[in-house]
Amino acid sequence: MVQSYLKHGPTEAFGLVCSPSSNSYYDGKFAYVPALEDVLVWDLKKGQMLAMWHETGHRAEVTCIVRSPQKDLFAVGYADGSIRLWSASTSSVIATFNGHKKAVTALAFDKSGARLASGSQDTDLILWDVVGESGLFRLRGHRDQITAIRFIYPSATAAPSSSAGPSLSFLLTSSKDTFMKLWDLTTQHCIQTIVAHRSEIWSLDVDNTHELVFTGSGEGEMKAWKIDHEALAQGLRETEAGEVAKLIYPVTNLPLASHHRVSQILFHSSRPFLAVQSQDRSVEVFRIRTEEEVRKKQARRKRRVKEKKEQAKTKASTKGKEQEDAKDMEADQEDQELQLADLFTPYLAVRASGKIRSFDFGDEETSTKGATQLFVALSSNALEVYNIPQPTKSKDVPEAARVYSVDLPGHRTDVRTLCLSSDDMLLASASSGALKIWNMKTTACIRTLECGHAICSTFLPGDRQIAVGTKSGEILLYDVASSSLIETIKAHAATVWSIHVRADGQALLSGSADKDVKFWEFEQKHSDGDNPRSARLLTMVHVRTLKMTDDVLSVRYSPNGKLLAVSLLDSTVKVFYQDTLKFFLSLYGHKLPVLAMDISADSKLIVTCSADKNVKIWGLDFGDCHRSIFAHDDSVMQVAFEKPDAREVDAKPSHYFWTVGKDKMVKYWDGDKFESIQKLEGHHGEVWALAVSNAGKFVVTGSHDKSIRVWEKLDEPLFLEEERERELEQLYEAGIADTLNRTDAPIGSGADDLGTNVPAAAAEVTAVSKQTTETLMAGEKIMEALDLADGEVAAFREYEEAKTAGGLSEQIAPPPRNPVLAAYDVEPEEYVLRVVERIPGTALYDALLVLPFGKVVSLMQYLNIWAQKEWNIVLTSRIIFFLLKTHYHQVVANRIMRTALIPLRKHLRESLRKQKDMIGYNLAGLRYIKRQNDAQRTAVFYEEGLDEARVQERISEGKKRKRVKA
C-alpha cells in the first residue's frame, strides 16, 4: 500500500508592520503599506491593523501601491510583473493585469481613474483601461527601469479653440537610463526625450498646476523643469531656426542639504509644501512661497540695505558715495528678477527613528486641522506620523513633532530565534534588541521586552520564564507574567550559539564560541527574597563545564537523557554520555560546520544540517550515516524532528523532520525513507529560525524578512508521487508561458537561450499581451468547448441530412445529446458563450491568441449566432474586433470566411443599432428625471407687497440690529 502523509498549508504571516519592498500610501487616517506579498491597512491613531489584502496562492512581493481618484480603488504592482486592482471596502481583487515580464516599479492613474499607466524593470510602459479591464498599448523607449510616471494635461487656457483641449493627455516618465521622456497618448509616441541628469533619475513629481517638474538623481542633484502648456496644446512645431519646439525646458537646480540619492520627491496636494528625501533617516520639507511673499521679503531686504548704506554715508567720501549708488542700482536690478529657487525655501527636516523607505502627506479632508501630517514608512518594520506646523511670523526654527507610531507588532531586525511553550499557546521570538511573546491563537503580540543580540532561546520548565542566549555570551532570564528581566548570567566569554533543556526539565545545556559546553541546574527561589509567600521563580546554577577543541555551534540532549551531542566548528559532531561525559561517538562527513541538529523522540536517529547545504541522518547506536541528502540550495540553518502528540495513546515517535535554509525554503522530510515530503515557499528572505509544535500540529518559522509564518498540518492526505507530478507540471507550465513570451526569437524556432540574440522588432508602440498558465488554460477551455459544440452540431446535422435524404425511417431516434450539454440543459452555442463569459476580462485577449486559426473560423460561426440572438453584445463585439485585427491577413486570404462574415456584419449592425437606440432612449429618460429632480429641489419664494425700497430698508435694519451689543 502506498504510504500517505498529511499535507501542511500556510496561514497568514504575522510580525510584519510594513516591508521595504514598496512605497506606502497614507490618507490622513489609514495607512496602506506593503507586507511582503500582502497589503496591510493600519489605523495609525489606534495602532490597529484593520485589514490584510491577501490573495491565496499568490507569493510575489508588493513593489508599488497607488490610489485611484475613485477612492475605493487601489492599484498594487507585484514583483512578478502583475498588477491587481483592489477594492478597499471589500479587501478583494477586482481585476488582474498581466503585461510586464519583471517587477512593476511605477504606477499612476489619470485624473478620472479610468486609465492606469504602469512602468517596470523590463523598461516597458503600459497603459491599461481600468473600466474595460484590458491593456490599451505598450510603449517602448527607455533602456532601464522606469522609476516614476505622471499624467500631464495641457491647461484649458493654453489649448486653442479648434483643438480638443482637455481630451489631450500626456505621460511624463523617468528612468534609470538618465532620460526623462514625454509621451503623447493620442499619437502613442514619444515627443521629447531629455537627458535630465548625469546619473540615474530616481524620483520625479509634478506640481499641482502641472507647470513645474522636479527630478532627483542618484548623485543628490534636484532639478526643476518648466512645462510649456502652449506648445503642448499646439503639438510638435518647428521654430524659426528650423528646430522642433521644446515642450519641457530646464529652469534651475535646487540645493539640498546632502548629496545622497534623491529617492522621493512629493508635492502636497493642497498646501504649499514640497518634501524631498535625500538622506536615509530624514525628509527635507520646503515651503513654497507665492511671488507676492517673495517680493515683500525683497523689499524688506532692500530697505535694510538702504538703512545700512545711509549710516555708512556719513563716514564715506563723495567718491565712495558714487560707487555705492552704482551698487544700489545693480542690487535693484538683481532683485527685480525672481528666481525659482527663491520660491522654494527650506522649512524644516523631519528626522525619523530609522531608515526611511517612503513617505506621504496626509489628505486634508481626513487629517487634523492646522498642522500638516507627514507619514513615514521605515525599512525597520515600523510606521511613524509627524506633524509639520504651519508657517508663522516668529523667528523660532519650526520642528516636526511625532504624533503616532506603530512598531510593537513586529521586530526591527531579523527574527533569529523562536521557541514554543509546552502547551503551544505562547511563542517567543527574539531578534537583535527585542524579545516578543505572541499568542498563538490570535497571533497578537502580548509582550515586548528589551534584550541584547539574541541568538538562541527556550522556554524553561513551567512556561513562566524564557532563557535567551546572546551574542555577548550572556544568558538572560525573563519572567513572562511580569514582563521583566529577572537575571543576567555571564555564562560564556563569547557568543552563546545554543541552549537546550533536558527532557526531565531538571537541567540546561549551553554551548558557546569560547569552546565550552556548560551544564546548568535549575533551582527555585522567591521573586521577593524577604517575602516567603511571593511567586517562586527558576534560577540557573552552573554545575560543570566540558572543554572542547573548537567553537561549539549546537548542543542537544537525547530525549531518553542518556546522551549528549555537541557540534563543533571543525564540521564534526561529538556524542558523549550525559552522566559521565565519557566520549561515545564522533560523526564526521560534513564539509562545512554543522549549524544545527536534532535527536528523534525514540533517541535512535540524529539529523544534522550544515552550511554545505546537506542534511545527514545518522544512527545513534553505531554512529553510521544512513543517508546524506542535498537538501537546500544554500546553507541549511535549522533542523528539527516532528514531535508526536503526547495526548494520543498510540502515538509513535516520528522520524519526520523539518529543515529551513538561506534559500528561503521550508522543507518536510521522511527520515526513514529519506524522501522529501513537501516544499513550502512563502518567505522572502533567509529563514533563520524554526520551532516545532509539541503536539505535532504545526511548525513556526522566522526569517530575515522579519515575518513569522505558521505552517499548519491539514487533514488532507499527501502522496509523494502526486506531489512530484504537481511540481513537474508547474515547471512545465511555467516553461511554456516563458517560451510564448520570448521576444528575442520567433516561437518554434528552437533558438537556444545562450545563442545569438536576435534583436526584437524595435516598434515604439505594441499591443499588450503576456501568456500565463491561467491564459493558456483559458484558451484550452475555449478549444474544448468549441470541439464539444462542433461535435454536437455535426452529429445533429448528419441526422437531419440523412432524414431528409430518406435514408432514415421516422422511428429512429435522434442521436443522444452530449452529457455535458444535457446536464446544463443548453444548446451548443449557449454552452460556448458560457465558457467564454467565465474567462476574466483581463485574460480574454491572451486566451484568444492561443486559438489556432481553425478554431477561430469555428468561433466566428458562434459569434454570428450570438449577434443574431443578441446575447452579450458587448463581449461579442470585443471578440470579433480582436479576432479580425489579429487574424486580418488569414481572414482576407480565406474565401470560406466571407460566408461567415457577411451574415455576421448584418446581424451585428442590427444588434448594435438596437443597443444604440436603447441607450439613447435611456439617456433621454435620465436627463428628464434629472431636470425633474432639479426643479423639485429648487424652491422659489414669493413675498407680496414689497418693492425694492422696502427690501433695502429691511436689510439695513438687520445690519443695525447685529451691531447692538448686549
Taking only the tens place, the pLDDT of each residue in 520-570 is 999 988 766 666 666 778 889 999 999 999 999 999 999 998 999 999 999
- Tell me whether strands 444-459 and 465-470 are parallel, antiparallel or unpaired: antiparallel
**Cβ neighbourhood burial of 356 (10 Å; 0-12, 13-18, 19+):** buried
Beta strands at 170-175 and 146-152: parallel, antiparallel or unpaired: antiparallel
Q: Say whether pLDDT at 750 is over 60.
A: no
The amino acid present at 478, given as its one-letter code, is Y
Q: Is 134 left (phi over 0), alpha (psi -120 to 50) or beta?
A: beta
- Please tell me the distance from the alpha carbon of residue 484 to that of residue 477, in angstroms, as a whole number: 9
Sequence-separated contacts (24+) of 425-434 with Cβ below 8 Å: 426/459, 426/463, 426/480, 427/691, 427/700, 427/708, 428/457, 428/459, 428/466, 429/15, 429/689, 429/702, 429/708, 430/454, 430/457, 430/468, 431/706, 432/471
**pLDDT above 50: residue 42:** yes
Of 525 and 879, which is predicted with more confidence? 879
User: How far is residue 949's CA from residue 944's CA, in Å, rounded to a whole number?
Assistant: 14
Helix (H, G, I), strand (E, B) or coil at 311: helix
Which whole number is the average pLDDT over 588-601?
94
Contacts of 744 (CB under 8 A, 6+ apart): 751, 757, 758, 759, 760
pLDDT tens across 390-417, in order?
Answer: 877 767 778 888 899 998 889 999 999 9
Q: Point out which residues pair with 173 in neighbouring strands.
A: 149, 181
Q: Which residue is associated with the grid cell 541528502?
A: 629
Rounded to two decimals, the pTM is: 0.84
- Using alpha carbons, select from 257, 221, 205, 219 the residue that is nearest to residue 23: 205
CB 718 within 8 A of CB 6: yes
pLDDT of residue 416: 94
Residue position matching grid coordinates 453584445: 873
Q: Which residues of 657-670 are buried (b: 16+ CB within 10 A; e: fewer)?
A: bbbbbbbbbbbbbb
Q: Give the model's pLDDT for residue 748.
A: 39
DSSP state of 247: S
Rounded (5°) CA angle 89-95-98: 140
Over the chain, what is the mean pLDDT? 85
Q: Which of 328, 295, 298 is nearest to 310 (CA)?
A: 328
**Cell of residue 931, nine digits:** 431636470
- For residue 246, give every residue at least 6 positions away whose Cβ sits within 8 Å of its Cβ, in sequence order, or none: 192, 228, 231
- CA–CA distance, 787 with 228 (Å, rounded to integer): 58
| Torsion angle of C-alpha atoms 11, 17, 21, 24, degrees rounded to 10 | 120
φ, ψ dihedrals at 940, nearest 5°: -110, 120
**Whole-number Å distance between alpha carbons of 541 and 487:** 12
Contact 360, 386 (CB under 8 A): no
How distant, in Å, are the alpha carbons of 178, 443, 614, 875 from that of 125?
A: 16, 40, 44, 27
Give the pLDDT band of residue 162 (cuts 50, 70, 90). very low
Residue 106 CA to its chain's centroid (Å)? 12
Residue type, 367: S
Contact status, residue 282 vs residue 346, Cβ threshold 8 Å: no
* Residue 954 phi, psi (nearest 5): -65, -40
Q: Are strands 605-610 and 614-619 parallel, antiparallel or unpaired?
A: antiparallel
Place of cell 492599484: 75
pLDDT for position 946: 64
H helix and E strand count, the chain: 14, 56
Q: Using CA atoms of 521, 527, 530, 534 in order, give the dihedral in degrees to the nearest 10.
A: -110
Find the mean pLDDT for residues 937-944.
65
Q: Per residue in 687-703, pLDDT tens?
A: 999 999 998 899 999 99
Q: Which residues, in sequence order, are CB contacts of 752 under 8 Å at separation 6+?
A: none
Can you give the pLDDT at residue 955? 74
Residue 569, classed as helix, strand or coil, is coil
pLDDT value of position 954: 74
d(CA 605, CA 625): 10
Strand duo 170-175 + 179-184: pairing: antiparallel
Q: Residue 385 — left, alpha, or beta (φ > 0 → left; ψ -120 to 50 → alpha)?
A: beta
Report residue 892 as a C-alpha cell: 482576407
Q: What are phi and psi of 94, to 5 degrees?
A: -90, -45
User: Given a cut of 50, is residue 746 above it in pLDDT?
Assistant: no
Query: Which has the higher per-residue pLDDT, 64 or 892?
Result: 64
pLDDT at 776: 86
Among candidates 4, 8, 10, which has minimal Cα distance to 710?
Answer: 10
For residue 641, what is its C-alpha cell? 524532528
Helix, coil or strand: residue 42: strand
Q: At what angle do helices 841-850 and 873-886 cross, to 10 degrees?
A: 40
Closest listed residue to residue 263, CA positions, set 217, 194, 225? 217
pLDDT exceeding 70 applies to what percent of the chain? 89
Measured between alpha carbons, how far is 294 from 302 in angstroms, rounded to an integer? Answer: 12
Task: Compute how many other C-beta atoms are within 10 angstroms of the C-beta atom of residue 808.
Answer: 14
Pairing type for strands 536-547 and 552-557 reads unpaired
Pick the residue with more confidence: 940 or 518? Answer: 518
Q: Which of 147, 201, 143, 139 is nearest to 170 (CA)?
A: 139
Rounded to an integer, the average pLDDT of 17-42 is 92
- On the question of pLDDT at 188 being above 80, the answer is yes
Segment 624-661, tens digit of pLDDT: 999 999 999 999 999 999 988 766 656 678 899 999 99
> What DSSP state is assigned to residue 602?
T
Sheet of strand 82-87: strand arrangement: 62-67, 73-78, 82-87, 92-98
Q: For the beta carbon of residue 625, count every other beta carbon within 10 angstroms.
A: 14
Please name the amino acid found at residue 633: D
Q: Would you mind telling me the total number of residues written for the chain in this entry?
A: 966
Q: How confident is the model at residue 959 (pLDDT cuts 50, 70, 90)?
A: low
Question: Which residue's C-alpha cell is 522636479?
Answer: 214
Tell me how far apart the terminal alpha carbons of the chain are, to the nearest angstrom. Answer: 100
How many Cα atoms within 13 Å fall on the side-chain side of residue 826?
A: 14
Task: Residue 460: name the closest of 417, 510, 422 by CA.
Answer: 422
Least confident of 279-283, 328-332, 643-647, 766-770: 328-332
Closest to 462 (Cα-Cα) out of 484, 479, 474, 448: 479
Cell of 506: 531538571
Please tell me whether residue 164 adopts helix, strand or coil conformation. coil
Smallest Cα–Cα separation from 144: which of 183, 174, 110, 166?
Answer: 174
Mean pLDDT value of segment 462-471: 93
Which helix (H) or strand (E) segment holds residue 772: the answer is: none
pLDDT tens digits along 478-502: 999 888 999 999 999 999 999 999 9
Could you give the CA distance from residue 875 to residue 70 in angstroms, rounded to a whole number? 25
